[in-house]
Amino acid sequence: MGDLMTIVFVIDNYLHQTNGTVITARRFIEKLRKRGHTVRILSCGLPDTDYFPLKERKIPIVSRVAKKQDVIFSKPDTKIILSAIKDADIVHLVTPWKTSRITYKLCKNLGIPVTASFHIQPENITYGIGLSNAYLLNKLIYNKFKKLYGKLDFVHAPSNFIANELKKNNYTTSIKVISNGVSDIFFNQEPNFSDDIFHIVSTGRYAKEKNQITLLKAINKSKYKDKIKLTLPGQGPKEKTLKSYAKKNSLNVEFGFLSQEDLINTLTSASLYVHPAHIEIEAIACIEAIAVGIVPLIANSKKSATPQFALDDKSLFKPNDVDDLVSKIEYWIENKDIRLEYIKKYKNFSNKYRLDYSIDLFEEMLLNGIQANKNRKLSETLKGKAFSRQFNKKPVAKTVSALAYYLIALPLLSIYLRLFLNVKFKNRKHFRNINGGAVIISNHVHLLDGVMNSLASFPKRPIMTAQQDNFKKPVAGFFVNLLGAVPIPETIMETRLFFDQLGRRTKQGRFVHVYPEGELKIQDDEIRTFKNGAFKLAVDSGVPIIPVRIHFTKGKYRKQIVVNVGKAVYPDLMTTNKDAQIKLKNETIEMMSTL
């Protein structure tokens, strides 16, 4: 990415190498250091270079339960935290516990930008304490975490699944989907399985939510039981239970934690990778297996991100359904030719999960976090405050504007558009399907097409953008201000503040209306060249584009204006901002051409 940074990682238990969150953090830190960045670590542990050790925090009952899941908590020490974050360009929170919360407050006071990763899925916590159906408790934990994550400009989600979970729980932050990534060493392997034995691998912590017991039951029930060898790399609280079942039923199972080298050797000899977990934020182990060249078989759980890696239903089975899992395992045993064909497909598919690509996206997110912090400081300058005032109206002005909009302007203009302009709306339902904010774009072909878009999106009130000259006109300027429009930027400083302010509004659930064509061209039926601003805003905020196309047609008795609303087009959160903007723009143009 070019710019070298001093980055502080805050993670409670960095020394616990069997924890997936820690393993991911270690990989990222190692890669970032190789790229020249200075990375400091704030965590429990022993002093080392760029390592700021904290003591372990003992929480009655909680710590004892958490340790069984290979989780410990650090005890925040303000003096040590301040020494770690001193002169840092950015601080990244890996775990959401007390040390991270204290660190965020200190960074805020010092003006240091903060980002975070969402690795701790609430369902992992509730499963860990023996509650498999705890919807309300999970909701409470999401809300608890939101008190920290909701204050940040950017949050790293390891999968689209968890990004959607955060949006469902109303996290008003920019969510960047970045895979935890797979090291190149996994891609540089060739499968070396035997025809004499069918070797299945299933990597993961021995815990209730990982559900290895279903896999053991399926193998025990299979007619190929004596031909199947199972390797379960890992460790955890359910180890005795799993070993007892395997021994009782004479299953050929290998248990125990494996080094990376031993894991790779095990994977290359495997014929099938089975992932039976109920709950999973990403399942890096599954991607590693695919990268080596193993066909996966994945539990199609609604609370797991792992089904996204399945190319079709052959690689999915019903969660907790032993019979369905038996059927799918036996299918892959009996159809070697198809399995060999799918190995090639999965190897190609896995390339987008390479660790280096994930680091590219992570660097970009950190730089965006630094830029957002600069924009915030810019808004506090005299010029910044003057421009920002047009976005941040006083409560009285907001109330008057809303009343004027809903009680006067909209009803009168609605009548005018219906009676005098013969305006008809189509597919307004696409607005109602949006949960959260969005960017509305439309062709600019009528003096009142802004009003048409406002009526189409009712009852939502979109933020309309307008040329700055319109705000200075004696009569028009009064109504433009009254109705809550915001000025289009004219300088570099204004542009930065413009995107920062509107980005905050969209993340809070507002619609923003933009004319990507720029200039008004009366009754033009062609789609003109789009500028990039609307797509940058949508990608930066992680919200969809809602395309609207206005047509002029011959009605039965007189001319008619048709306002046609298209389906929302969502940005690709798993690619660079530049690529995501290009892709979103092209897909939107394609959608507009069909309206």
Q: pLDDT digits over 196-243, tens only? A: 899 999 998 898 889 999 999 999 999 999 999 999 998 888 999 999
Helix, strand, coil percent values for the chain (each to nearest 5): 50, 15, 35
C-alpha to C-alpha distances, 441 to 42, 99, 320, 445, 564, nearest whole angstrom:
45, 43, 45, 12, 12
* Statement to judge: residues 538 and 450 lie in one domain: yes
Q: In this predicted model, what pLDDT tens digit does every residue of 2-17 receive, in sequence order?
A: 589 999 999 988 876 6
What DSSP designation does 304 have? B
What are the counts of helices (DSSP H) followed by strands (DSSP E) for the chain? 25, 21
Is residue 1 situated within a structural domain?
Answer: no
* Statement to judge: residues 433 and 538 lie in one domain: yes
Instruction: Give the separation between CA 442 and CA 449, rounded to whole angstroms.
Output: 8
- Average pLDDT over all residues of the chain: 88
* Statement to judge: residues 125 and 198 lie in one domain: no
pTM: 0.81
* Statement to judge: residues 539 and 443 lie in one domain: yes
Q: Do 311 and 345 touch, CB atoms closer than 8 A?
A: yes
pLDDT at 480: 67
In this predicted structure, the answer to whether residue 1 has a pLDDT above a threshold of 60 is no
Task: Please choose, from the candidates 37, 31, 115, 22, the residue with its C-alpha nearest in 3D space to the C-alpha of residue 71.
Answer: 22
Contacts of 237 (CB under 8 A, 6+ apart): 68, 69, 206, 207
Which residue is it, tokens 């005018």? 416
Instruction: Give the separation between CA 103 and CA 88, rounded to whole angstroms.
Output: 12
Task: Please choose, from the candidates 550, 543, 471, the residue with its C-alpha nearest in 3D space to the C-alpha of residue 517.
Answer: 550
* Statement to judge: residues 433 and 290 lie in one domain: no
Task: Record the tokens describing residue 286, joined without a space.
Answer: 């599954």
Instruction: Give the separation between CA 108 and CA 466, rounded to whole angstroms.
Output: 34
Contacts of 101 (CB under 8 A, 6+ apart): 148
* Statement to judge: residues 234 and 148 lie in one domain: no
Which residue is it, tokens 């990608």? 539
In this predicted structure, the answer to whether residue 52 has a pLDDT above a threshold of 70 is yes
- What domain count does the chain have? 3
126 or 255, greater pLDDT? 255
The domain of 232 spans 184-352
Termini Cα distance of the chain: 39
pLDDT at 503: 87
Is residue 245 situated within a structural domain?
Answer: yes
* Statement to judge: residues 169 and 199 lie in one domain: no
Specify the CATH number for the domain of residue 545: 3.40.1130.10
Q: In this predicted model, what pLDDT tens digit does every residue of 326-384 receive, in sequence order?
A: 999 999 999 999 999 999 899 888 887 889 999 999 999 999 999 999 988 888 888 77
Instruction: Give the separation between CA 480 and CA 488, rounded to whole angstroms.
Output: 13
Instruction: Give the separation between CA 124 and CA 130, rounded to whole angstroms.
Output: 10
Buried b (16+ CB within 10 A) or exposed e, 459-485: ebbbbbbbeeeebeeeeebeebbbbbb
Q: Average of pLDDT values for 453-458?
A: 91
Task: Record the tokens describing residue 50, joined without a space.
Answer: 């760029």
Q: Do 180 and 251 touch, CB atoms closer than 8 A?
A: no
Question: What three-state secondary structure class fits 261?
Answer: helix
Of 314, 343, 375, the residue that ends a domain is: 375
Specify the CATH number for the domain of residue 225: 3.40.50.2000
* Statement to judge: residues 228 and 344 lie in one domain: yes
Evaluate the CA torsion angle 221, 225, 230, 236 in order and state its sign: positive
